[in-house]
Structure 1
Amino acid sequence: MKLLVLGATGPTGRHVVDLALRSGDSVTALVRNPAALGDLAAQVTLVTGDATSQRDVATAMFGQDAVVSALGRGNSVTADDLFTRSSAALIGAAKEAGVSRLVWLSSFGVGHTFDWSSTKQKLIYRTLLRSIYADKKIADERIRSSGLDWTVVYPTRLTHGPAKGSYRADDRLPMKGNPTISRADVAAFMHQAAHGREWVHRSAVITN
């Protein structure tokens, strides 16, 4: 598969790139700073650009079979409209390039998944993560109404631990406490989803 990865230099995106390469995919990465990919840079097709620019995304997207977006804000709690701007650029670029398959990373607690959150989770989402989650909600709704073959992924709190290879994924998973899942497991799910049809037009909640 020819796979475009957005957010490839981030902690989840790097897992996606590494897994895709090990699986034999041809990987293109749209990055602002190619050096941030380290050793992986020599193994992928690099396109230098901005994920919020439709022109840059379209340039990277031509000829691809699918797109996996693992864009994130890192440790920042400020949205800066990253997700609304990048979702608009991606949808426009996908239609321009004729690519329909998209796996998009969101967060558990965004939009409709907020209703299934635990009391502890809701407190965090309403305060510390309020700005980012509001931005993600708009982006997620835009993705779902785009006409693309989308999958929106809602992981619980992400960790840097190793992949366990076993996790729960469903359209709806009510939560207790503050569950977690490793970025490596999320990357594995996203990569698998991009290769199949099971999760097309579905929102996947994922946790250990």
Structure 2
Amino acid sequence: MNILILGATGRVGSHILKSTLNDNYHVKVLVRDVDKLRIKDRNLTVIEGNVLVEADIVNAIAGMDMVISALGTDGTTTLSESMPSIVKVMEDEGIKRIITIGTAGILNSRTEPGKLRYQSNESKRRTTRAAKEHHKVYELLENSSLDWTIICPTYLPDGEHTSRYRIERDFLPENGKMISVPDTAEFAYRQIEDDGYIKARAGIAY
């Protein structure tokens, strides 16, 4: 299987990249700065480019079977600005499967039905900027023809790899407070071969 990973130099994306290469998937990454990528592997193709440039996305997606996006918000609108082109190119190329990393803020609220968590009294965040970015991506994917899965971690420290966590479809598991980066990456990686959360948000927490 040929997999494109976006955000491969980030906290979650770097863990996903290692897992895919360890299992001998053929992986392509699109990065702005190739010097940030320390990994070298015979199954890894590195393309220098920008997710905000549609031609770079076309080049990166060509020949792929699926896309994993671990793009973050990082105080920018890169996520919401790049995803329309990513979805368009995938649909044009007939590539259906995309796995993305979102945030627990875009899961359904338990306390205020009809709202997302970031819109409700469940949210403890001082700012909703990042959640609004992820909400735009969620709406875009929901209205697309793609087989999407959005992994939605709550508070995300680097932490340890435990393989012990709870998952709930479209909601954050009850009293979920945190989930480590390695465990979030592990669950995202499992979705490559698992179709249990297609066209769904997956809340993840301990």
* Fold similarity call, TM over 0.5: yes
TM interval, short-chain normalised: 0.7 to 0.9
User: Separation in 2 of the partners of 1:29 and 1:150?
Assistant: 19
User: Separation in 2 of the partners of 1:116 and 1:193?
Assistant: 24
User: Separation in 2 of the partners of 1:163 and 1:111?
Assistant: 24
Aligned residues of 1:30 and 1:60 also touching (Cα < 8 A): yes
Residue in structure 2 matched with residue 200 of structure 1 by the alignment: 198
Query: Which structure dedicates a bigger proportion of its chain to helix?
Result: 1
CA gap 1:154/1:14 in 2 versus in 1, 3 angstroms:
same
Q: Write out aligned runs for 1:103-118 (5 A).
A: 103-110=99-106, 112-113=108-109, 115=116
* Residue 59 of structure 2 is aligned to residue 59 of structure 1: yes
Q: Write out aligned runs for 1:5-154 (5 A).
A: 5-38=5-38, 40-43=39-42, 44-73=44-73, 76=74, 78=75, 80-110=76-106, 112-113=108-109, 115=116, 122-124=123-125, 127-128=126-127, 130-154=128-152
User: Separation in 2 of the partners of 1:195 and 1:48?
Assistant: 28
Percent identity over paired residues = 26
Residue in structure 1 matched with residue 185 of structure 2 by the alignment: 187
Q: Which blocks of at least 5 consecutive residues in structure 1 are unaligned?
A: none
The 3-state SS of whatever aligns with 1:206 is strand
* Number of equivalences: 198
Residue in structure 2 matched with residue 173 of structure 1 by the alignment: 172
CA gap 1:98/1:14 in 2 versus in 1, 3 angstroms:
same
Aligned residues of 2:100 and 2:149 also touching (Cα < 8 A): yes
Instruction: List 4+ stretches of structure 1 deviating above 4 A.
Output: 113-117
Which string of whole-angstrom CA distances, capped at 9 and with x for unpartnered residues, describes residues 67-99 of structure 1?
1100113xx4x2x32221121121011022221
User: Separation in 2 of the partners of 1:153 and 1:14?
Assistant: 16
The 3-state SS of whatever aligns with 1:138 is helix
CA gap 1:83/1:112 in 2 versus in 1, 3 angstroms:
farther
